[in-house]
Structure 1
């Protein structure tokens, strides 16, 4: 037999079938070690293999994995977790690779693991790592270490790691999975035992940093990553080392420690300057500081370095392929947006969507920007280049987006494409379509299809509240949202709006207003604004219209706020950028000063000011204040150069 799959599982009924379905055609043997499941995991496992064994958990992942390895009888062993799965093509590629590969006692293979990280798979970002998971049987290769276990040859052979030409997906870092399985507390207990027994290695510090990063504790993540890099100063050749550098940089960005990030890039990550991460990280710093021209160059360098590496290897990144594609494209689109270059924005957003058609922010912006100069009929061919026609998943997604951005014409187009399967649409989408087309009869027909115990989403509540307000009906009263439900307060606020009452201060009015405007219920919009407006709400609406490129409406609201001295920081910054880009320099600088007063720690505001402020006493005074507040500017060459040039002017 060619390949044995070895797994350890516990309470994996939700994902085990997905995992085994993805590999059952390419493995000859499946061995499952169950460490105490209390759900239907073992029943599911038995439908795929008779080799299911109970194992008493001892807080040691290596020991549990080795229990499966010792039972394997194939030439090769593949190790997977239940929350992983292969795309079909990748699984077939792995089998074909092994059929032509001779086992060697000193060689094991890593597989590229694509991690979904975020609240849910639909709202996740992707990271990639190469993890040793494939090795020859009968060469005394087993796992060591109780957590984040590693392969080791019992006879002392130094193992070489090569990359197998295959990738798999991993959903175990999704927040919903972490919370459901209490992974962080489980791992913390294992680490505590490990520290008592042997102390922490550099790799341990790295993995503990990852644990803290996953739970959002950035300060502790930085502490452990820094300890890891210091302890591993002589181990830079290990595969995880550059990923630790990238993870530390990500944490520095979260804390706005750009000078520390720059130092780490140029003293450490520079050792991997042939990879896109080096250039992309520099570009991120330039972007956050407002050096857009330098940022563009760095992002293009990231593309080029990836293309060059791709000529010789299919893994052309250190931590994630996103640094060679989606991150530079996203930020290039953002720069074009800040520079009021709609054509370039559309270009970069289109390229971004070619790589990830489900990037909701990108497709929303693309539709908004395209609508400035094109009719909906002209936008459809552009979208057809990205989304497959007659692909139900794509059409449903585009219907949802069309409803969200308020494009009635596009919503009608995609609803027509789905007319044979509209019964399969979520009720919120059917309600939204009835509302955007101002079809009260259809709206009420959809309400009749609601299950008695149906609890709506936030989107559905918005639709119901607007329908009730516009058509003077009691739609909200047909629902019961339990007090313990997370949407109960929103539901109660909407009921009060519908009843003409003023609820306690709440942000719930903002989504009602924006959706009323987008769906062209202008009379209701005006009525709500006049009834419930305050400075905070008007700022939100002004910035909403600014983001939608409806500058005339936005500027009207900004004028009201300016007169009442209620502009918030975002409004001030938008006004500053708008005026500077339209060459109203004095007004732009005045708004920048107002923004800096509200956001004194944002260095990019100072950069923008120095770039536009003309020579004179005012600039010298501002420069003096800046260098006093941010003495670390000297660590970033572009910033130091800007200061030097400003001092001479």
Structure 2
């Protein structure tokens, strides 16, 4: 047994992910043993490109049986178990091998490894951590038991592995992966067999809850999580994960009173970790308790910055609760307060965390370019992207287009050209539009090989037509099956053909056009489009006022809001925005009056009530709004945090 590590795995139809898994263990495993349980795709061919040890196994509805077949064939001193949708960090392999070479493989011992379960796209970095015994001695007493969510046994007892920080990354719980592989139906059948055999224990309820959770049924998932959370289970390793999942389901189901009860107990059980402070912050934000949410999210960041644990660990289930999630929510919370400094600060934290996040970069640059010279914005970006890749240069060019910023577009267009980055026709068209080159725009269109597939999207067709006042670009919409857009374009350039009763109008689409025209400083086109749709001035004025407010362009927003207020046409978002603005500026009573109007217009939105109650001193108005809250939000009104706010002032 000269080999140190044997990788053992079972597979079926894993051609999309298997290569990534096996590439990651190069330099780690001395041998790879793959047991195939019935693949009919390219899985076995991929496996054979890495190892000769690829064996067929007749599936008997038992994962343990298949895995035991794999470890039976292993020759290494240590057995490492991975699923095909998992992978490891190759740079940590040598360190793990050095560690194992010092351990006694002649005893039935194992190691518990952290598993980072990605819940969204891997690029977003959002995960929940679990642990599992995945590395153990190749010993005759060690085997797998249970047909599903199998456990490593040492003799007659589950193996209690020693923790070791070698991370396994797992993508199998992303919604896309789950739906593609249709794991749920197969697994539920196995659980039904277990139930029929009366072999169900707390761990089985927990894993069954995970199955329902992955299928998007949090209600059934919660039922099973609760059955798993017995007093006997508190000492078992799955308990913290199960408790975490139960709270997540309660929040998803909007059962916030019960969620808070679980969260408070979680804070008592695990006060040294950020998880339940973050959960409480999320619930507060959902309830509209924005000040409390800010304090709690910032507490999470503080705990993460000053961990009390000797190993530096500040999280129970996910490190995201100490950085990514607080950053994501704090920038939105401070934006509501119109605190641009803090908003920019947390957006910057986010983009440093994930440089490929287009939406965060868009919001950040949108704020910076309004207030800073473009040269300083570029210098700022050079610090963030200090070793810029071609993909990042292209990303910055794309975001410059979205912002409609000519200077940024010219800079990053030149940078892409210098790096010989080929630009698709869509990008070249946007660049010609932003830099006002209609002849270049036409040349690009003429160069397209297949006129049946236009290179520009519908919005670009409209923008080119409006900016250059040329209806010919509308012909590129003809390939679309969306007749409403075709009718809109025809109306814009021949309005006399429509009557006031049949003007084609898409409020969302026209708002997007107006926003883009404004960002590109195409004010003539902006006014022209507004004039064409004068019959819908009130709707568009509300939408543009809301947009300018969201971009911290408060004076522009208030110009629109004031006109609408004079005409008694201000929408609920406008009343809400002005209400929050006045309150944060110290004008409590007037702000409360605006919020009361917004609440009356959309009483189903629960988030404005707490801020109203904190600001309003008018007892009669408070009673009116309180009655409405209790009527529309019965499930929240009994929450202690809410009760202390909505009660009458002393």
TM-score by length of 2: 0.88
Distance of 1:442 and 1:390 partners within structure 2: 29
Shift of 1:473: 5.9
Of residues 613-622 and 53-62 in structure 1, the stretch that sits farther from structure 2 once superposed is 613-622
Aligned equivalent of 1:241, options 212, 219, 239: 239
Name the structure 2 match of 1:275: 273
Q: Whose radius of gyration is greater, 1 or 2?
A: 2
Name the structure 2 match of 1:321: 319
Distance of 1:449 and 1:174 partners within structure 2: 41
Shift of 1:321: 0.6
Contact 2:149 2:207 in 1 (8 A): yes
SS of residue in 2 equivalent to 1:432: helix
Distance of 2:217 and 2:44 partners within structure 1: 35
SS of residue in 1 equivalent to 2:100: helix
Shift of 1:86: 2.1
- 1:231-263: per-residue Cα shift (whole Å, max 9, x none)? x33212323222222222222223333221111
Name the structure 2 match of 1:194: 194
Contact 2:603 2:632 in 1 (8 A): no
Aligned equivalent of 1:577, options 575, 580, 586: 580
Q: Structure 1 residues 431, 100: closer, same or farther in 2, change over 3 A?
A: farther
Of residues 536-545 and 9-18 in structure 1, the stretch that sits farther from structure 2 once superposed is 536-545
SS of residue in 2 equivalent to 1:25: coil
Distance of 2:135 and 2:366 partners within structure 1: 47
Confirm or deny that 1:497 pairs with 2:482. Answer: no
Name the structure 1 match of 2:146: 145
Name the structure 2 match of 1:177: 177
Contact 2:36 2:56 in 1 (8 A): yes
Distance of 1:191 and 1:566 partners within structure 2: 58
- 1:621-645: per-residue Cα shift (whole Å, max 9, x none)? 545665676677686554344346x
Name the structure 1 match of 2:427: 429
Distance of 1:29 and 1:71 partners within structure 2: 10
Contact 2:202 2:233 in 1 (8 A): no
Distance of 1:595 and 1:101 partners within structure 2: 67
SS of residue in 2 equivalent to 1:390: coil
Contact 1:147 1:190 in 2 (8 A): yes
Alignment map for 1:322-361 (pairs within 5 Å): 322-361=320-359
Structure 1's unaligned 5+ residue stretches are 482-487
Aligned equivalent of 2:464, options 463, 467, 488: 467
Contact 1:270 1:278 in 2 (8 A): no
SS of residue in 1 equivalent to 2:418: coil
Contact 2:603 2:628 in 1 (8 A): no
Distance of 1:455 and 1:112 partners within structure 2: 48
Aligned equivalent of 1:266, options 264, 267, 274: 264
- 1:172-203: per-residue Cα shift (whole Å, max 9, x none)? 22333223222233333333333323354323
Contact 1:109 1:135 in 2 (8 A): yes
Structure 2's unaligned 5+ residue stretches are 493-502
Confirm or deny that 1:299 pairs with 2:314. Answer: no
Name the structure 1 match of 2:109: 107
Aligned equivalent of 1:612, options 610, 615, 622: 615
Distance of 2:454 and 2:317 partners within structure 1: 39
Shift of 1:50: 0.6
Distance of 2:27 and 2:14 partners within structure 1: 21
TM-score by length of 1: 0.88
Shift of 1:352: 2.6
Distance of 1:50 and 1:616 partners within structure 2: 80
Confirm or deny that 1:41 pairs with 2:39. Answer: no
Shift of 1:324: 1.1
Q: CA RMSD in A?
A: 3.2
Shift of 1:34: 1.6
Name the structure 1 match of 2:159: 159
Confirm or deny that 1:378 pairs with 2:381. Answer: no
Distance of 1:306 and 1:494 partners within structure 2: 50
Q: What is the aligned length? A: 635
Name the structure 2 match of 1:3: 5
Name the structure 1 match of 2:252: 254
Alignment map for 1:435-584 (pairs within 5 Å): 435-447=433-445, 450=448, 452=450, 460-471=457-468, 472=470, 474=472, 477=475, 492-500=483-491, 507-532=508-533, 533=536, 537-559=540-562, 561-562=564-565, 567-584=570-587
Name the structure 1 match of 2:131: 130
Distance of 2:115 and 2:528 partners within structure 1: 53
